[in-house]
Amino acid sequence: MNIIDTWAKRNKLKARDRHLLIEAYRRYNKFAVRNDRGITEAWLGLGTQAQYGKSPYFRTHNGKGLRSRCDGWWVLTEAGVNVLVDLIRVMPWKEEHSLKIFTTSSI
Going from N- to C-terminal start, the domains of the chain cover: 3-104
Higher pLDDT, 97 or 85: 85
Mean pLDDT of 31-41: 78
Mean pLDDT of 72-80: 93
Confidence band of 99 (pLDDT split at 50, 70, 90): low
Higher pLDDT, 67 or 42: 42
Predicted local distance difference test score (pLDDT) of residue 107: 44
Higher pLDDT, 35 or 6: 6
Give the 3-state secondary structure of 34-101.
Answer: CCCCCCCCCCCEEECHHHHCCCCCEEECCCCCCCCCCCEEEEECHHHHHHHHHHHHHCCCCHHHHHHH
Higher pLDDT, 70 or 96: 70
